[in-house]
Amino acid sequence: MPDHQHLAWLARSFGRPDYLPLSPRDLQLLEEAAEIVHKYPGTHLFKEGQVADAAYLIEGGEVDIYRTVSGSRRVVARVGPSSVIGDIAMFGGGTYISSARAVGRVRAFRFDRDRLLPALAKHPAICMRWLVAGLRQLEETQRRVIHLMHKTVLAQVADLLLEERGSDGEVALSQASIAMLLGASRQTVNESLARLRELGGVETGYRRVRVLDPDVLQAVAAGEKP
Do 174 and 131 fall into the same domain? no
Do 158 and 202 fall into the same domain? yes
pLDDT, tens digit (0-9, with 9 covering 90-100), for 105-117:
999 989 898 888 8
pLDDT value at 162 more than 90: no
What's the structural domain count of the chain?
Answer: 2
Q: What is the DSSP string of 29-80?
A: HHHHHEEEEEE-TT-EEE-TTSB--EEEEEEES-EEEEEEETTEEEEEEEE-
Task: Quote the domain boundaries for residue 191.
Answer: 150-221
Do 163 and 194 fall into the same domain? yes
pTM: 0.64
Ranked by mean pLDDT, the top range of 14-23, 38-47, 83-92, 171-180 is 38-47
Do 12 and 120 fall into the same domain? yes
d(CA 76, CA 182): 9
**Structure confidence at residue 195 (pLDDT):** 92
Do 138 and 163 fall into the same domain? no
Do 107 and 166 fall into the same domain? no
Do 127 and 165 fall into the same domain? no
Residue 226 lies in a domain: no
Residue 194 lies in a domain: yes
| Confidence bin at 127 (pLDDT 50/70/90) | confident
d(CA 133, CA 30): 15
Give the angle subtended at the CA of 44 by the CAs of 145 and 86, to the nearest 5°.
50
Asked which of 103, 123, 146 is the last residue of a domain, the reply is 146
Do 205 and 217 fall into the same domain? yes
Do 102 and 24 fall into the same domain? yes
Do 124 and 38 fall into the same domain? yes
Do 33 and 54 fall into the same domain? yes
Residue 212 lies in a domain: yes
